[in-house]
Amino acid sequence: MDMRTPLGKVRGLGSAKDGTEHFWRQRLTAVSNVFLISFFIIFMVLYAGAPYQEMIAVLHNPLVAIVCAFVILSVTIHMRLGMQIIIEDYVHGEIGKVALLILNTFFAVVVAGAAIFALLKIAFAG
């Protein structure tokens, strides 16, 4: 016979109050992506087929470079959060789940770092 209350039976099995924070982060990046990706699409349409030197000149503009950096950061954070949910929901082995979550974070950092490095290299090139 189990003498624990219903609350005692489920204590320690919940989300540890982490789910709501994750939910809001994902929604915040989704909303920011609406505006940032809209800018990026308009930017790409306006400069599609532009000569190399013109693209370099446009990316030298600090406002354009900063917004492009925000696009990179917001998209990679949103990507990491989305993949984290998929991994947590569909990978059942604990070791595999932890390994994939670590790889997911490293992948997002490498992608964002490489893209921002390329952007900064273009923006600050002589």
For residue 74, being part of any structural domain is answered with yes
For residue 4, being part of any structural domain is answered with no
Residues of the chain with pLDDT under 70: 1, 8-18, 126
For residue 116, being part of any structural domain is answered with yes
Contact, 68 vs 119, CB < 8 A?
Answer: yes
Average pLDDT, the chain: 91
**Residue 50, domain extent:** 24-123
Contacts for 19-23 with beta carbons within 8 Å, 24 or more apart?
Answer: 22/81, 22/84, 22/85
Structure confidence at residue 18 (pLDDT): 66
Closest CA to 59 of 69, 73, 45: 69
* Residue with the two structure tokens 């979550």: 101
CATH number at residue 71: 1.20.1300.10
Contact, 91 vs 97, CB < 8 A?
Answer: yes
Structure confidence at residue 16 (pLDDT): 57
Note the pLDDT tens digit of each residue in 38-67.
999 999 999 999 999 999 999 999 999 999
For residue 46, being part of any structural domain is answered with yes
Nearest 5°: phi and psi at 31? -65, -45
